[in-house]
Amino acid sequence: MTVRRPQKCRAWAGWAATLGAALAATAWAAQAAAQDDAAPPAAAAPTQAGMQPQVTANEAAPPAETMPAGVVARVNGEPITREELDDTLQKYYSARALDSMIQQRLIRQEARRLGLRASSRELDDAETEFFSSRNFRPGMPLGERRKQWAERLALRGLTEEDFRGELELEVLLRKLADRRVAVTDEQVRAEYDRRYGEQLHLSQIVVASESLATEIAERLAAGGSFEDEARRHSLDATASDGGRRLTPLARGQTEQAYETAAFALAPGGTSRPFKTAQGWVILKLHERVAARDVTFEDVRDELRRQLSDAQRRQLSPIILAELMRQAVIERKDTPAEATQAGN
């Protein structure tokens, strides 16, 4: 027997679209909603595997009832048997389903070890959050959302209990991640500055050597074109745009030398060359955008919550990978002796 190393695994078809990211039922719900609400015509609908058009029956093909027992389709007269179909499904989905079940079992084991459980209230809250999400058309009444979801579950052979079980796994994984979430006051302040503070529209030139940066700065001081110099010499991805930055710069987004040089500029001004991790940089300031009239106290708690949510999403696959590494996972279909997953 061998032990699988951690990997992101697709869950059983029509079940959770991905367990590795967060075991969220919302992932496959969103996919189902998109398919139900905005599906293209069947003849042109792409498949998940190869983005190829769906195969439709030729009008001249014989009726299905004339096919022999055990044949599910014919292609130019050549049969595809039920056995072939079942074998293909088994090969394609069984490993993914087993991987998903292994990860689910690991989450439950770790939660049990730490004394974590999902209460009925927490499951109710998770369900309410799910039905309030973007998995449904805006404005759809709650009752209609629940009815539509029950129909989707039934089409996949699933029950409300199955759905609640998936939500339980999501709650448990969230609790495992919550033990590591740590948002500092500095991070909250930096996020406030990024969203609401003063922002700068800049162009930049990045070169490898101080000597070339100095030569460029001298030509700029003599009236040279910043855009031409950027196109000719800059190593940065913005060179073809004359060095123009694609997004405004706020405080706390870059290294200190860059921030200091940028915020010291007046509109239309250029900086002296300075050293960064990317190389020697010269900046030009196009515009200052004033800070928005929102106080830090008004948005502090919401920013902390959003940053915590972001950390939690990042931690979930890390936790799953760690659990896989630490586990002893024996598979019947492999002959080698079981070993620690991380070995």
Per-residue pLDDT tens over the stretch 195-224: 898 999 999 999 999 999 999 999 999 999
Instruction: Output 194 or 340, whichever has higher pLDDT.
Output: 194
How large is the average pLDDT for residues 4-19? 34
Instruction: Output 282 or 239, whichever has higher pLDDT.
Output: 282
Asked if residue 82 has pLDDT above 50, the reply is: yes
Beta bridge partners of 339: none
Asked if residue 285 has pLDDT above 90, the reply is: yes
198-289 is classed CATH 3.10.50.40: yes
Q: Tell me, what's the pLDDT at 212?
A: 96
The pLDDT-based confidence of 275 (bands split at 50, 70, 90) is: very high
**Which distant-in-sequence residues (6+ apart) come within 8 Å of 262 by Cβ?**
200, 202, 249, 254, 271, 283, 285
Every domain of the chain with CATH number 3.10.50.40 lies at: 198-289
Sign of CA dihedral 99, 101, 105, 108: positive
Q: How many CB atoms lie within 10 A of CB 116?
A: 18
The pLDDT-based confidence of 296 (bands split at 50, 70, 90) is: very high
* pLDDT digit string, tens, across residues 225-268: 999 999 999 998 877 777 777 688 988 888 999 999 999 999 99
Q: Tell me, what's the pLDDT at 229?
A: 94
CATH number of 1-36+78-197+295-343: 1.10.4030
How large is the average pLDDT for residues 99-109? 93
Residue type, 125: D
* pLDDT digit string, tens, across residues 298-311: 999 999 999 999 99
| Dihedrals phi, psi of 225, to nearest 5 degrees | -85, 120
Instruction: Output 239 or 184, whichever has higher pLDDT.
Output: 184
Q: Tell me, what's the pLDDT at 319?
A: 95
pTM above 0.85, yes or no: no
* Residue owning tokens 């927490």: 122
**Which distant-in-sequence residues (6+ apart) come within 8 Å of 211 by Cβ?**
none
Every domain of the chain with CATH number 1.10.4030 lies at: 1-36+78-197+295-343
Task: Determine contact, residues 238/244, Cβ cutoff 8 Å.
Answer: yes
Q: Which long-range contacts (CB under 8 A, 24 or more apart) does 211-217 make?
A: 212/280, 213/273, 213/280, 213/281, 213/282, 214/273, 216/273, 216/282, 217/270, 217/272, 217/273, 217/282
Q: Tell me, what's the pLDDT at 161?
A: 93
Q: Tell me, what's the pLDDT at 174?
A: 94
